[in-house]
Amino acid sequence: MRTGHQPYSLLAAVFLGALPLVGQPATESATLFRNYCAPCHGQQMEGGNAQSLIDAVWQFGSKKSHLFRNIKYGIADFAMPAFDAALSDDQINDLIDYIFSREKASGATKPHPPERIFTLDYEVRIEVLAQDLDIPWGICFTRPEQAFVTERSGSIRQLLAGRLLPDPVEGTPPVLHEGQGGLLDIAVDPEFEENQWIYLAYSHPLPSLSNDRRASAMTRIVRGRIRNNRWVDQQIVFEAPSETYQPTRHHYGSRIVFDTQHRLYFSVGDRGLSHQAQDLSQPNGKIHRLHRDGTIPVENPFLTRFNALPSIYSYGHRNPQGLAVHPSTGMIWESEHGPMGGDELNQLARGANFGWPEITYGRNYDGATVSDLTHQPGMEQPRLYWKPSIAVCGIAFVSESSFTRWNDHLLVGALKYEELRLLAIAEGRVVHQEILLKNSGRIRDVANGPDGAIYVITNGPGMILKLTPIRDLNGNPNE
């Protein structure tokens, strides 16, 4: 999502439903919601890139006057655009009445996954290992029976032998849990058995310099160890220059992976300042590469470029919330949220410019044009883009799994349509997509477990799911 607003043209207003076509009745509130609100808040108001509207939690005020103000004037720091040029006051009031009526009628029922599903290759068992987590975001495994899961509010939870321990890990770093910020990804060092390092990505606040200004924040990477359920030995791996911190509360990224040479890659979203994605002096809108101790690899592409941050590996990214290493080629793949349309799947390359916001397949959430261009010399094309957006999130390649038919396939989580997808990739191209799981919660992250199972993290509700094969379609037993 982007901040700010650009006025509609009359044609754009008609196309998106703000004005009726000649000879047709006036736009109904349901159509207004579908055109203006659903891309962020979900078709059923269940939440997507923005919060749910049916869970009785109103972050910016629950009165009708509060909603009217937010819709009309926007909330720039949280990427809520202003709709004062697109919607009349009467339309805004009708839209609010519709939202309140849907909230009342919803009953706020929670989705629940089926016990078994059938895919093209397997019958799959689904187990719910944990429920009622507080916006779980990332998962990592230290051994087959032990995993750690982050909750965006700031906690690390331990999953031991398939059971979620009641007490969170103590002593974790303080995070700025506002908007899309908080405790984000978690990753295990490639040499964990020797060094016990665990890495965290989170939104790190700087203290406000005055009482009338909100704290600025940026994505930060640290590592530490977990001993006796306590976070200890913390070291800062990456902290951006303080002058690059921003008061916005969205587009932090951030995922962490390690390549075949054990170098660390992590993503930082554009923080709602899209033009800075092209600015090499800024950390946002970039994929960064470091050694695990935070030092800079000498092979980094902008190491000697004047005024460029030496940690940058690629740039021109919007909000990358998925990173994965191809198990056969070693190439780094990345998924990122586009605006309204234009979610991307990219294969990263050293020093490459992926174009945001100069080129895009999407439009701004208020309907305004981000760019008229989808191609530009010197800018990379996505290997796949989704239009409309699926709100693509965590990704993982299947490797050394019990799902042997899926080895080297890419698992893709989607928030907006509550989907887990399986992508077949050949010679760097996506050749097939299959929806494995749908309507069981918004898929935030997905991971291969060392036990051969696939683990899925959902939001709304916050669950940990375990997928194992029962049999393949040729009748070969897997149990």
Residues annotated catalytic, as ranges: 251
Residue 398: CB atoms within 10 Å: 20
The pLDDT value given to residue 282: 98
List the beta bridge partners of residue 478. none
In the predicted model, is pLDDT for residue 48 greater than 80? no
The model's confidence at residue 38, banded by pLDDT at 50, 70 and 90, is confident
List the beta bridge partners of residue 155. 151
Q: Name the least confident of 110-114, 240-244, 298-302, 389-393.
A: 110-114
User: Is the Cβ–Cβ distance between 358 and 383 less than 8 Å?
Assistant: no
The pLDDT value given to residue 26: 40
In the predicted model, is pLDDT for residue 124 greater than 60? yes
The model's confidence at residue 10, banded by pLDDT at 50, 70 and 90, is very low
Q: Which residue has the tokens 């001993």?
A: 227
The pLDDT value given to residue 210: 58
C-alpha pair distances (Å), 46 with each of 24, 73, 158, 363 = 30, 23, 28, 22
> Where are the domains positioned within the chain?
10-106, 115-141+390-479, 169-389
Closest among 275, 265, 288, 255 to 392, alpha carbons compared: 255
Q: What is the mean pLDDT of residues 181-198?
A: 98
Q: Which range has the top average pLDDT, 55-59, 85-89, 342-346?
A: 342-346
CATH class assigned to 10-106: mainly alpha
DSSP state of 377: T
Share of the chain above pLDDT 90, in %: 71
pLDDT digits (tens, 9 = 90+) for 200-236: 999 999 987 656 568 999 999 999 999 999 999 999 9
Name the CA radius of gyration of the chain, rounded.
22
Measured distance CA(416)–CA(441) in Å, rounded = 9
Average confidence score pLDDT of the chain:
89
The pLDDT value given to residue 79: 72
The pLDDT value given to residue 464: 98
The pLDDT value given to residue 155: 98
pLDDT digits (tens, 9 = 90+) for 74-93: 876 567 888 988 888 888 88
In the predicted model, is pLDDT for residue 281 greater than 90? yes
Instruction: For Cα atoms 239, 241, 246, give the angle at the middle one, nearest 5 degrees.
Output: 95
Share of the chain above pLDDT 70, in %: 88
The pLDDT value given to residue 59: 55
Place domain 169-389 in its CATH homologous superfamily. Answer: TolB, C-terminal domain (2.120.10.30)
The pLDDT value given to residue 477: 56
DSSP state of 33: I
Assess whether the region 10-106 and the region 169-389 belong to the same CATH fold.
Answer: no
Residues 6+ apart with CB under 8 A from 372: none
Q: What is the mean pLDDT of residues 160-181?
A: 96
The pLDDT value given to residue 3: 33
